[in-house]
A and B are shown apart, each in its own frame.
Chain A
């Protein structure tokens, strides 16, 4: 091998002081400079690579050619040559047509994946090659193990391998610096809590949330000194954060003449980032752990506080010096991770793809178990029973909420100009205080991963939507999202819905149908996704539900909002002896059973949660032929029902609700197709809910228009009665062909025992005019 190759091929010296010849930047392969990798080097020298080992390593490498394949890097079992060769083979041959990642846009999955990546590098000019460790593992288990255990040695070897292939293929390509390999998704992916001393100096992947990032720290890599006497210059590498200032000029032998020239020294960027455990990973009752990350060069400023990231890097522990000038150390190490690769987990949410991590969460056994469960005939009942077991009965409500948890299928009609159809199911619970509505809401909020719980009383429009805030540190305007945006893809539980003020409620209109939130304030105009289901609870205005009034009158909510709820349930106190008895038994048992015993009886909350999560991400049912027919029939039936009485009893919105419910029910069965039974259940549930909420208390007939038009039955009735009274009045006046408008109104007022407004009177006149009984011209009323 030629000397140049030797220098690069020694991974130990790669990027460490001894590798740097004076007069850098030194050219690497054909004009592309090598770039130091501070993510691999620097901080670690204190632990293993001392001066002996440097020399030792050179020895090994130097003698490698003669001794063949047997030599390994000091302290490891890595043989540079074979390691390099294996990795090259991996790059050239690795194909996995099944593994689709969302970064793979434009990749032919049947061709070697990483060769295409190299081609991309050639075109784009970004000299970083991201390598999924999972791929490496399936290709060569041993190489993978070496990578995990000795990243510091193996990654430079990978770099060399990648560069050799790259410059072989694209000899004319000129990159900013040589390609750096960035492994990610080390399968040893762990929770921050599981990190332990054994992980030190190993490649790890952990997930968490960025809570703080420091400003950019210029870290000196190489100091530039000039002699003030003879202008001789020299470069000194930084060793363990220290510069060995030359005390004597080599040229003129003057002592203490060397001065540091700042702007000719080399610096690299560095940033300190604090990563906090993601809330999901935390055991209950403990505070989250944090870990420090060091990002170098172009990884600086890649993440912002609040981002959820998966970080791949090398875990380090460094002894703390009591005093920087004294060599004694504390017995405690400082730990940090040198970042090699970031992967944001929540950026993908913007594309509407479910999180990869979320899908990966299920082990095969778990999936088997869930599938087994889904085959049970009574799965729907079973799940609904498992939902909030401490709340007694209210089965239909629980079923409704269960369907809400599963949600409909997401459909995209953007190409036909209708945009997204809402797949989320909204539910309103109204009823007497103390019927455990809030408890149900709390349960749901605790069950779903992305749930938000707010109370109508305490929330303002901004709290629900988003607000613009000036970041105290950066002075930038930032958008702070509220409950609705935060519960995107989740459920937003709003308690005391009726107590919410008008302006707050108005923002819900957009969210509940279009599933977006438009914000225009302080120079920020944007539309945020808020694909959230809403589970709201409202108390009747008179604190007790008045059965003589309609839903609208009882809760005093605008019908425009009510019609956006797919299901409206009344939670009333049933009065029935058998029910009371069961309830009593249930409650008594609560008061003496031990906790373990209760757990046994019901399906585990975790199973339920997984079941829902699995169905939500993997099952996407479509309407079957029969089901479509059944839906059409159901809709026509609903329309017919009302038309007999001259009113509209169903709107397309109701049809959409039915479709969503049917889809959700199919999801419960893990079925990819919506069948008639799904439609049947959807119809039943919808009817049940309507029966409760849209029954006209006067007539006892279910009347959808109460919810859709807000015209209450009482008002309608009163109007009718008034018209009749007016007709009688006119008829009693005898044969007079025309009457004075004002006169008639006065007469009617005198006769009626309730106040008659002018509007009501006019409405009555119009009604009679429609019946061809009279006509109104100006101020006179003519009989026909």
Chain B
């Protein structure tokens, strides 16, 4: 393919070509998007595009086509730019028409000047999103993506040899230590093997990249890249959207294809402006801080001019990106997987049972929890959330820590929140608008849809929460009950709906609300928790692990219904239960049972509720309750 290099390496020249052909009328813009859409449809073409998620910015060629999978963290104000403009050469008086789309700086030769008063100038509007990589994205997700495109990734011209090496799996890696680590990490996680191998380099890597940021040029105090979670790495990006930006929302996960712009002039603009702002009235408009945030050095925060953008339903790379489409390939994939669903479920149940120290009931509930998702909202009530409180967790042996590592291997994005007086009082959970810098300062709870949040309450001690702490705990409570986070805009609060799976581990009943409390009954207490857990993980075949991953992501996206017949049966059942024991069966219990029944059916790949499933759901609930009752008797605690 001769043109591959063209549209990948210099997309702007293609745009220029289309622009030149169609210049008088304005439909050249449409033609450009169509052209790239076609190109990307070609077999595996998307894999050819280098991803900003994996390749460090300095290896990518400026003005080449890149892709970026990211979450919209903040939305800046719309910008007006010169969509079409004319340059004049003062000597020859030659006039040339240019387009300003997909670039930051106007194209203007040294002898030319931009004619600002030209009647051909068209002012257009674009929107800037501040995007960060999906927070809490699991290492396997990352590794899978880079592995899948590693070899086909086109060398980005100016450092071909180096580039190639960084993606070759087993070549010598003496040149770039950081890359070496990255690769190592990728390999170990992909194979699903050694946990230490997975975690250690990650930490090193963050340190290394943090260090890298500090020394990086012309940015004396390190710029806060505003990642929601601490210790995140990967580039933040200013994504410039040209079309239908109204459809994107904060916290949406996007995959964008666009032109990378790292023009060093962008950073120079800053420093220059800061020095000489005194006279020009236009430049004292923003505070220095605001400028720093809104036009950070391009080496740290590259710009992407979006040609195509797409909202992602999920971020699991093992699944086709869009499941709703009626494509034969997708259907095939789904039906193939469905046929082998029950063995996968059984395996997963076994795996989780071991992880939960032999408690199969808790494992069953954990599966239900992992495939839960908010599928609708009825006025204020979110439907389909299933926050589980796993009580009775052994406190001493870092059980939660290891449980989280296992979960990390299963879900595409997750975060482990260790609750303590200290962390509640000092960490920032709620995103807050910083009016001086005019940006949304991120908080831990700014997470993408379907992120798993593991709240560890076992480390909580007695103590006093201060105001911030109370707010944080309230925010967690609101998140669990209403699936929304009230962002702090200082003059008012604004509600952002979210869809986060919350799992709370605690000794007794959690102080946070939950939809369902399961008391853990360990059958085995392994003497060495760490060894036990890592051996569990190594025992699972990588292919099986991938199936687990597909299982959890896929089932979440299925539709579900209840037939009239079953509705009747459920109705009867409920009335009957109430008759026998009105004290203990309330509307709330019915809610819970219906939820359990829903996820139970889905977990078996059934999209309608059957009588058997309903009975099984009832049975599970009864078992769970009996356990709680028992616990209550033991401790004399109130529920």
Q: Which of B265, B496, B574, B598 contacts A584 (CB 8 A)?
A: B574
- Within the assembled complex, what's the spacing in Å between the Cα atoms of A549 and B272? 75
- Interface flag for A335 (CB, 8 Å): yes
B123 touches A292 (CB 8 A): no
Q: Are B249 and A388 in contact (CB under 8 A)?
A: no
Residues from chain B with Cβ under 8 Å of A319 in the complex: 82, 116
- Pick from B75, B265, B276, B597: contact of A286, CB below 8 A: B75
Contact of B154 with A by CB under 8 A: no
A439 to B433, CA, bound (A): 28
- A577 and chain B: residue at smallest CB distance: B575
CB-contact partner of A292 in B125, B285, B380, B471, under 8 A: B285
Across-interface contacts of A241 in B (CB, < 8 A): 279-282
In the complex the two chains form, is B279's CB within 8 Å of A439's CB? Answer: no
- Stretch with Cβ within 8 A of B (4 or more), from A43-51, A529-537, A725-733: A43-51
B491 with A211: CB separation less than 8 A = yes
Q: Does B85 contact A (CB under 8 A)?
A: yes
Q: Are B578 and A591 in contact (CB under 8 A)?
A: no
Q: Which of A272, A443, A584 contacts B285 (CB 8 A)?
A: A272
Report which of B113, B561, B567, B597 forms a contact with A327, defined as CB distance below 8 A.
B113
A446 and B74 contact, Cβ closer than 8 Å, known pairs A583-B590, A592-B560: no
Give the residue among A286, A289, A318 with the most B Cβ atoms within 10 A. Answer: A286
**Binary A-proximity of B254-296 (CB < 8 A = 1, otherwise 0):** 0000000000010011001000100111111110000000000
Describe A's contact surface by its main secondary structure. mixed
Among the listed stretches A277-285, A364-372, A550-558, which one makes contact with chain B, having 4 or more residues with CB under 8 Å of it?
A277-285
Q: How far is the CB of A24 from chain B (nearest CB, A)?
A: 21
In the complex the two chains form, is B250's CB within 8 Å of A286's CB? yes
Q: Is A640 an interface residue (CB 8 A)?
A: no
**CB < 8 Å: which of B113, B561, B575 contacts A581?**
B575
CB distance from B249 to the nearest CB of A (A): 3
- Asked whether A200 is an interface residue with its Cβ less than 8 Å from the other chain, the reply is yes
A25 on the B face (CB < 8 A): no
* Residue A363 lies at the interface, judged by CB distance under 8 Å to chain B: no
Task: Report if A543 contacts B (CB, 8 A).
Answer: yes
Find out whether the CB atom of B571 lies under 8 angstroms from the CB atom of A331.
no
Query: Which residues on the B side are within 8 Å of A779 (C-beta)?
Result: none
State whether A458 and B562 are in contact (beta carbons under 8 Å apart), knowing that A330-B106, A336-B285 are contacts in the complex.
no
Is B378 among interface residues, defined by CB-CB distance under 8 A? yes
The contact string, 1 if C-beta is below 8 Å from chain A, for chain B 119-140, is: 0000111000000000000000
In chain A, residues 394-442, which have Cβ atoms closer than 8 Å to a Cβ of chain B?
434-436, 438-439, 442
Q: Which of B106, B379, B571, B588 has the most CB of A within 10 A?
A: B379
A543-B637 Cα distance, complex, nearest whole Å:
14
Which residues in A have their C-beta under 8 angstroms from that of B496?
A: 285
Residues of B within 8 A of A335 (CB): 80
For the complex formed, measure the closest distance between the CB of A328 and the CB atoms of chain B, giving whole angstroms: 6
Chain A residue nearest to B269 in the complex (CB): A322
Residue among A197, A285, A321, A594 with the highest chain B CB neighbour number at 10 A: A285
B77 contacts A543, C-beta separation under 8 Å: no
**Cβ contact within 8 Å between A287 and B284:** no
Q: Indicate whether A270 reaches chain B with its CB closer than 8 angstroms.
A: yes
- Residue B28 interfacial (CB < 8 Å): no
- Given A284-B497, A588-B570, A592-B561, do A334 and B81 touch, yes or no (CB 8 Å)? no
Q: Given A242-B279, A455-B474: A388 and B285 within 8 A (CB)?
A: no
The number of chain B residues touching the other chain, given as a range, is 35 or more
Tell me whether B279 and A329 are in contact (CB under 8 A): no
Q: Are B594 and A591 in contact (CB under 8 A)?
A: yes
The answer to whether the Cβ of B359 comes within 8 Å of any Cβ in the partner chain is: no
- Binary CB contact string for chain B from 554 to 596 against chain A (1 if under 8 A, 0 otherwise): 0000001110000100110111001100100011101100110
Is the CB of B244 closer than 8 A to any CB of chain A? Answer: no
Q: Cα distance A450–B106 when bound, in Å?
A: 47
Residues of A within 8 A of B560 (CB): 591-592
Q: How distant is the Cα of A588 from the Cα of B85 in the complex, in angstroms?
A: 61
Residues of chain A contacted by B482 (CB below 8 angstroms) = 442
Interface residue? B320 (CB, 8 A)? no
List the B residue with the shortest CB-CB distance to A575. B582
Compute how far the CA of A434 lies from the CA of B561 in the bound complex, rounded to whole angstroms: 26
Q: Is the CB of A390 within 8 A of B80?
A: no
For window 90-125 of B, CB contacts with A under 8 Å fall at: 100, 103-106, 108, 113-114, 116-117, 123-125
Is B571 a contact of A47 with CB atoms below 8 Å?
no
What would 13 more interface pairs be, CB under 8 Å, given A217-B281, A591-B562? Answer: A48-B117, A286-B249, A288-B494, A318-B282, A321-B282, A322-B265, A332-B81, A434-B588, A575-B578, A583-B590, A584-B571, A585-B567, A588-B567
| Chain A residues near B (Cβ < 8 Å) | 42-43, 46-48, 50, 195-197, 200, 209, 211-212, 214, 217, 219, 241-242, 270, 272, 274, 279, 282-292, 294, 305-306, 317-324, 327-336, 388-390, 392, 434-436, 438-439, 442-443, 446, 455, 458, 543, 573, 575, 577, 580-581, 583-585, 587-595, 598, 605
Can you name 13 A-B pairs with beta carbons within 8 Å?
A: A197-B123, A274-B438, A279-B492, A285-B250, A323-B268, A333-B82, A389-B379, A573-B582, A573-B587, A584-B575, A588-B562, A588-B567, A589-B567
Q: Lowest 8 CB-CB distances: which A-B pairs, in order?
A: A285-B249, A584-B574, A197-B123, A390-B378, A331-B100, A584-B571, A331-B106, A333-B80
